[in-house]
A = this chain, B = another copy of it.
Amino acid sequence: MISAPPADVQSALAAVAGKAFSHVFLVACGGSLSIMMAGEYFVDRHGGTLACDVYNADEFVCRDPRRLGPDTLVVLCSQTGTTKETVRAASHAKGRGATTIGMTLDLTSALAQVVDHAVVYQASYTTGKPIDAAYGNYGVLYMLLAGLIDAQEEAGLAADLLISLGSLQPAIERAHQTYANRFEAFAPRFAPQTAIYTLASGACYGAAYSYAICVLMEMQWYDSQAIHANEFFHGPFEVVDRDACFIVLLGLDETRRLSERTRDFLFKHGSAENILTLDGAELDLTGMVDRFKPYLVPLVFFDTLWRFAYQLADLRNQPMLEGRRYMKKLTDY
């Protein structure tokens, strides 16, 4: 169990505790945007008075929602803190009188400088060092949102969250074991394909989105898309044939039956050997409070799926981070 949020999270929450926000905007790009989708699910489930929107940072600046103003909070996230769209979104929000909180790895970054309250999180992705996922992007975002809702509505969320986050890293380690053989079996089948789709709903959709665009497309150049598990039946399912490859995330949240339906369709009309299913029900989440499991499952999935991506990379003979041709190689776009 974690006894309290980190000091900077506490300080940000204390600073905004007196304000009755009508709206929270969750703003970022790419992988950092994907965690905001889970954040919106969390606010939708628990925020009785708080409206919540998720926007890509550049869309947010141009769209410039009329409701953005002094009674709104904008939470932004950029790993390096240098993503120019996100820094610009923070400035824009401040200019409109909103309160801003920025999540980043680097408290000296441009994002940290421009926001009202900067909050640091950890990522093994960049540092290469092992971290406690409790202090990763999802964990810190949930601490902020739970604290915010608790302050406005006295919902008692933060206490259950901290207990659950304390059991997160061990759950991730166990999940690596749970999936090791499965990944080993699927990697040779998925590696030579040109397209892999991810499917999810509810709190897991963001993890599916990030895996599709920031891992499969960005690092392995697959054709991909994160398909919402119910939207699947309104068009995308027509691509299903015996050769099509899918990763299905079955979460533990209220939308679980949507993903179950998708899984069942795929097993009926596709090939079992091309359907990689990750099911929250098969994870050992000992120590987590039941009502928080649905919010932490997507990050267990995502962390684990990184390993699967590295296996694909080996078989495709295409390195992960170093294999990109444009990102962090070009500067003129």
Contacts and interface: CB of A to CB of B under 8 A. Distances in A.
A51 B51 contact: yes
A238 B223 CA distance: 10
A56 B231 contact: yes
A325 B238 contact: yes
Contact of A23 (B51, B194, B217, B235): B51
Given A58-B258, A201-B59, A223-B223, A234 B66 contact: no
Contacts of A239: 217, 221-223
A225 B196 CA distance: 12
Contacts of A261: 333
A333 B233 contact: yes
A234 B63 CA distance: 19
A313 to B, nearest CB: 13
B66 A48 contact: yes
Contact of A238 (B221, B225, B237, B254): B221
A30 B46 CA distance: 27
Contacts of A236: 213, 217-218
Given A62-B254, A217-B239, 4 more contacts: A59-B201, A59-B230, A214-B234, A261-B333
The 5 closest A-B pairs by CB, nearest first: A30-B234, A225-B225, A213-B235, A51-B51, A218-B235
Interface of A: 22-23, 29-31, 33, 41, 44-51, 53, 56-59, 62-67, 85, 194-195, 201-202, 212-215, 217-219, 221-225, 227-228, 230-231, 233-240, 253-258, 261, 264-265, 268-269, 324-327, 333
